[in-house]
Amino acid sequence: MSRKRGRLFVISGPSGTGKGTVCKELLKDIRNEFSVSMTTRAPREGEVHGREYYFVSRDEFLTNIEAGNFLEHATVFDNLYGTPKDMVISRLDRGYNVILDIDVQGGLQVKKAMPEAILIFILPPSLAELRKRLIGRGTEDAAKVEKRLGQALNEIRLIGEYDYYIVNEDIDEAVDLARSIIAAESARVPEAVRSIIREYEKESK
């Protein structure tokens, strides 16, 4: 590996905050890549194994969990979903940043497995605005919207575990800020430089 290693970014935020749009915009930069998840759910029409997901059996998925092959995994409606570690690492090694669009619980799992991961939290400008956006989608009734807001608050309570936050008031500004964070993190003095110097100083004492 001669190329500079990429960085792993986790983007989380309650549903309705525009997290998906931010991620999609970031992927227009060829230095950023998504990671393809593994799932036990059946492929839908048009979905390709290795493109939308790696479609595997429940047994295969469980074997991967036991082998510690996931950065994070979760159950959604009886189906298992997970982020394969080796896929992420090989992309980082090839110099690409990896963008993971996952929920807060997943983000915390990733941080535990790879402490160098950079966690970004997308916030709505206000609870009232989030409610408005969720109602505006028209896909959920009032009770479900309130349930989503409760979930949002549970996620926001964990923001202290995140490195950065972006208040998505304007999507272009939010994307710009996400790009700035990625650029800045790529300009950090590498930990290796610090540890080499510390090592040298210890030796020369």
- Give Cα separations from 126 to 56, 130, 136, 150 (angstroms): 40, 6, 15, 14
Contact status, residue 123 vs residue 13, Cβ threshold 8 Å: yes
- Is residue 65 within the footprint of a second copy (CB under 8 A)? no
Compare residues 153 and 184 and give the one whose CB is closer to a second copy.
184
- Is residue 105 within the footprint of a second copy (CB under 8 A)? no
- Is residue 179 within the footprint of a second copy (CB under 8 A)? yes
Shortest Cβ distance from residue 8 to a second copy (Å)?
Answer: 16
Shortest Cβ distance from residue 130 to a second copy (Å)?
Answer: 19
Answer for which of 9, 96, 121, 152 binds a second copy (CB under 8 A) is 121
Structure tokens at 18: 């525009």
- Is residue 165 within the footprint of a second copy (CB under 8 A)? yes
Question: How many residues in total does the chain contain?
Answer: 205
- Is residue 197 within the footprint of a second copy (CB under 8 A)? yes
CA distance 52 to 23: 15
- Residue 6's nearest CA partner among 95, 87, 86, 89 is 95
Beta strands in 61-106 (DSSP E): 70-76, 79-84, 97-101
Compare residues 93 and 199 and give the one whose CB is closer to a second copy.
199
Q: Which strand (E) or helix (H) includes residue 2?
A: none
- Is residue 163 within the footprint of a second copy (CB under 8 A)? yes
- Is residue 61 within the footprint of a second copy (CB under 8 A)? no
Binding site for a second copy (CB under 8 A): 121, 159-160, 162-166, 176-177, 179-181, 183-185, 187-189, 193-194, 196-198
